[in-house]
Amino acid sequence: MKRPQETCHDDQHSLSRRAFIGTAAAAAFAASAVAPKARAAESAKKFKLKYAPSLSAFRASAGNDPIDQIRYIADQGFSAMFDNGLMDKPADVQEKIGAEMARLNMTLGPFVLYADFGARTMVTSDQEARDMLLGRMKEGVEVAKRTGVKWALIVPGRFDERLEWDYQTANVVDNLRRFVEVVEPAGLVLVLEPLNRHDHPGLFLTKMPQAYQICKAVNNPCCKIVDDLYHQQITEGNLIPNIDRCWSEIGAFHLGDNPGRREPGTGEINFKNIFRHVHRKGYDGVLCMEHGTSRRGREGEQALIDAYRACDDFEV
């Protein structure tokens, strides 16, 4: 690089050198700052489907602030996010999350509205339990108003060993019909989640055909299924045929490979084929990434993104 001219006085020469060094340092800093942004821009191509990381999925990279986390998720090319604990956050935080999601044109996936794994609630006709659940529905409506979320997740709880199964099914249907009367005016959809008996023994709702039967009986567009592929791979497999048979009643998906419940590619599920299948069927809802990572920290978070990039690389 050409040096400054030597014809100046010593003090001017010293000043010129300092200015030159400062300019060079600034240029180097700018280059180092631009490089990560360029890499981020390169990796920020939007995914074909609305894969939704959990709010805390990239804490090592984005920090603890929920708004920073949402922005980081968007920067990676994701167009959705979910937060199981949304209902437990303060109202002002919910509003900030909803506003940022709207600003970024992102979709907010289902939050957990009710999931008590130890109680027999929805399988009974007990009025006290029903009143409690109706109260939860009303709280969920307020969360939807603050955040713009359109789906709320329900686990019907434990089955009753002393009551015939068909009576329990009828009670669940009857309760859900009452619940949708509360949430429907707000446009909130209740999604029922079947869970596997190995991880969660004793629960009433475990299979896709069972959830399909209940939704058909409720007969309301505000009662649908969240198809958790991790749970259903354990319970019954046959993932794509069950997707097809239950298609009219599926409101959302949960993801997680089996065994291990980590990112795609760490287990036995062929997520690339499943994603291509639901894309070709015209699915425009969320696919919540409800799983852990195979590695910790930023390395694990990057592996998570890379896994979804690989599975999203299917022919349209």
Segment 126-154, tens digit of pLDDT? 999 999 999 999 999 999 999 999 999 99
Cα three-residue angle 253-72-299, rounded to 5 degrees: 85
Q: Is the Cβ–Cβ distance between 190 and 180 less than 8 Å? A: yes
Cα three-residue angle 224-230-236, rounded to 5 degrees: 80
pLDDT of 10: 42
169-177, Cβ contacts within 8 angstroms, sequence gap of 24 or more: 169/213, 169/214, 171/122, 171/123, 171/124, 171/125, 172/122, 172/123, 172/204, 172/205, 172/214, 173/214, 173/217, 173/218, 174/125, 175/122, 175/130, 175/133, 176/122, 176/214, 176/218, 176/223, 177/218, 177/220
pLDDT at 11 over 90: no
pLDDT average, residue stretch 17-40: 39
Q: What is the pTM of this model?
A: 0.86
pLDDT average, residue stretch 10-25: 39
pLDDT at 303 over 70: yes
Max Cα–Cα distance, the chain, nearest Å = 101
Q: Is the Cβ–Cβ distance between 65 and 91 less than 8 Å? A: no
pLDDT of 52: 99
pLDDT of 18: 40
Q: How far is CA 37 from CA 71, 77, 254, 290, in A?
A: 14, 13, 31, 28
- Who contacts 154 (Cβ-Cβ below 8 Å, separation ≥6)? 113, 114, 115, 122, 179, 190, 191, 192, 193
pLDDT at 24 over 60: no
Residue type, 219: N
pLDDT at 175 over 50: yes
Measured in whole angstroms, how far is the alpha carbon of residue 118 from the centre of its chain? 25
pLDDT of 44: 75
